[in-house]
Amino acid sequence: NRFSSDQYSYRVSGGIAYIASHDNDPKHLLKFINSIFSERFQPEEGDGYQATPNKALIDLAEDAGVADKIANEAFNLHYVKWQEVINENTPEEKALWNVSGSNKGAMTTPTVTINGKLVDLNAASEKQMDPLEAILKSLGIDKKYVGKSGHMPKVTYKSKPLEL
């Protein structure tokens, strides 16, 4: 939020939590997350930041398959108190610090963990993988099988992410 004037990070992360809690199709959430980090959408940080209206986020969620009612409610700052606590404490967690790249030893976004183990998105970027592709590879499931009955990730609730 410190790099925007319109609580963009709170709206997006709260929207992700809301969609995850209210939409039963995980493909919708994954598609939405992939879209917000795409080069055509993700706003510039710092002095070049331009406000992103809720309508743009709603459209992106709906394009990802999220129902109208859910998309229209998702970005209304339902989780601000929780987000403030998370933002205060999470950057101090060394398990979330980058293990490679120019930000090694620091936490950046997006940060993804599987069973408490960091998915190295810097390594994914170096291999020209987008975040969704990296997450699915780390879980050991092909994109075409996400949300399909009978297809489970290779990673169990006890194992660490697969190597990229």
- Distance CA(137)–CA(154), nearest Å, equals 10
The backbone region for 119, taken as left when phi is positive above 0, alpha when psi lies in -120 to 50, beta otherwise, is beta
Q: Is residue 9 scored above 90 in pLDDT?
A: no
- Distance CA(155)–CA(140), nearest Å, equals 6
Token duo for residue 23: 């939409």
Confidence of residue 104 (pLDDT cuts 50, 70, 90): very high
Closest CA to 112 of 133, 83, 81: 133
Q: Is residue 66 scored above 70 in pLDDT?
A: yes
pTM beyond 0.85, yes or no: no
Q: Is 114 helix (H, G, I), strand (E, B) or coil?
A: strand
Q: Is residue 3 scored above 80 in pLDDT?
A: no
- Tell me what pLDDT residue 127 has: 93
